[in-house]
Amino acid sequence: MRHHEDPLDYLFSLEHFGIKFGLGNIRTLLGALGNPHTAFPSVHIAGTNGKGSVTAMVERALRLHARTGRYTSPHLVSLTERFAIDGVPVPIDALRDVVAHLRDVITDLQQRGELDVHPTFFEVTTAAAFELFRRANIGIGIFEVGLGGRLDATNVLTPAVTAITTIARDHERYLGDSLESIAREKAGIIKPDVPVVVGNLPPAALSAIQEIAAARNAPLIVAHEGATISGIATRDERVDFNLCTPRRNYGRLSLSLGGAHQVENAVVAVRVLEALEASGWPLDADAVRAAFADVYWPGRLQRIRRSDGREALLDAAHNPEGAIALAAHLAATGRRHPIVFAAMHDKDAAAIVRALAPVTSLFIVTRASNPRSHTPEALAALVGQEAPALTVLTMPSAVEALDCAWQHDTSIVVAGSIFLLGDVIASLGRAW
């Protein structure tokens, strides 16, 4: 069947289907494609926070030994960012070609009555990742869970290793309102006999994951058990530390991601790599040091400097735990900065504001170019309730919010939403 609509316009039109949990659609679609997700080994990473950073670290280390595919979400500026081969987003024409093929396959499946409901945007992008990576003949794929785990479209994988970085309250509408229920949803990625690495988890969450891992005979690796971390030192947007795990002494590691919280993510990434090593993948301390010193993950304590001396520190901080980590980083600098802030209406914006209020001199609230974004007026009212002593200004767009913030200070912070960060990066001309 021939279509005249641009494949990417078609793909973005699927966003109106929203979020739909379940693996039926994606399995049907992948089956019609010849199951491209089985063409390569994989690593599968879930978690409330840190999963993107861990994905980036693991991929950068594996890239030293194999052709890699990395699938993450959401993107900041370009959809192609979600699909990286050897660390580079796929060409737009390659993505168009794959999406056009998927559209034809979906149309055929619907006409034959094999798909009752049209796949969602995320289901199609996930299938596109598998097909792009198969066509590129990658040696290993590293996949970040989109939301939850158990019913996420990426959970068709049978990976070599799984990981759960953190568990905290987020997306409670979909995942439940207790740490145990959220943990059980994320633990859905645990596969029989496949090692699972977990980060520093609350006791209730760890207990739930231990139970599921035991039931599936999945070796459980608690990342920090038996690991020694010392000498943590932050400088600009980097962090250095010494690491010794039960497997080896890595000595001094220099991580090109900022914030002391990234040390926790780095330990998870190392233990994932060690689990792969145990199954035959090459790994040594020099490779880890080289990879961690060079890893790049935008929107996480990312500093953009302008030629006129103005600068902005970008950090998603889109849930309370992320905001707490950002606040700790800012507090360590001893200086308060204006914060350009936006948040989605399904996030706990009040808790984010409470975390950031003590480390800012001024909130400039705006909205991201996403229909789920709170209005500036709603956010201003919320800041007034949570931090009545702080000045809050409203701006209708990210560009105007930046200009306003820079009128108050040459060094500002942008936080509260990944979508806001994308708007800011695009406006500053710092896309990929």
d(CA 329, CA 324): 9
% of the chain beyond a pLDDT of 90: 81
- Residues across the chain: 432
Furthest CA-CA distance within the chain: 64
- pLDDT, one tens digit per residue, over 146-201 is 988 989 999 999 999 999 999 986 544 545 568 888 999 999 999 999 999 999 99
pLDDT band at 431; cut points 50, 70, 90: very low
What is the reported pLDDT for 370? 87
d(CA 103, CA 92): 16
Contact 215, 191 (CB under 8 A): no
Please say whether the dihedral angle defined by the alpha carbons of residues 103, 107, 112 and 118, taken in this order, is positive or negative: positive
- pLDDT, one tens digit per residue, over 285-321 is 999 999 999 999 998 899 999 989 999 999 999 889 8
What is the reported pLDDT for 171? 46
User: CA dist 173 to 93, 148, 185, 345, 347, Å?
Assistant: 36, 11, 12, 12, 10
Fold of 302-427: Protein-Tyrosine Phosphatase; Chain A (3.90.190)
d(CA 68, CA 78): 20
pLDDT at 224 over 90: yes
Contact 77, 432 (CB under 8 A): yes
What is the reported pLDDT for 18? 61
What is the reported pLDDT for 169? 66
Lowest mean pLDDT segment, chosen from 2-6, 59-63, 191-195, 401-405: 2-6
d(CA 224, CA 33): 40
What is the reported pLDDT for 4? 62
What is the reported pLDDT for 1? 44
228 three-class SS: strand
d(CA 214, CA 192): 9
Continuous H helices in 147-247: 172-175, 179-186, 203-215
Span(s) in the chain for CATH 3.90.190.20: 302-427
- pLDDT, one tens digit per residue, over 77-133 is 999 999 999 999 999 999 999 999 999 999 999 999 999 889 999 999 999 999 999
The arithmetic mean of pLDDT across residues 256-271, rounded, is 94
- pLDDT, one tens digit per residue, over 235-259 is 877 899 999 999 999 999 999 998 8
% of the chain beyond a pLDDT of 70: 95
- Which residue carries 């930046």 as its tokens? 402
Nearest by Cα to 284 from 293, 292, 275, 274: 274
Please tell me the CATH code under which domain 7-294 is placed: 3.40.1190.10
- Which residue carries 């309102």 as its tokens? 177
Span(s) in the chain for CATH 3.40.1190.10: 7-294
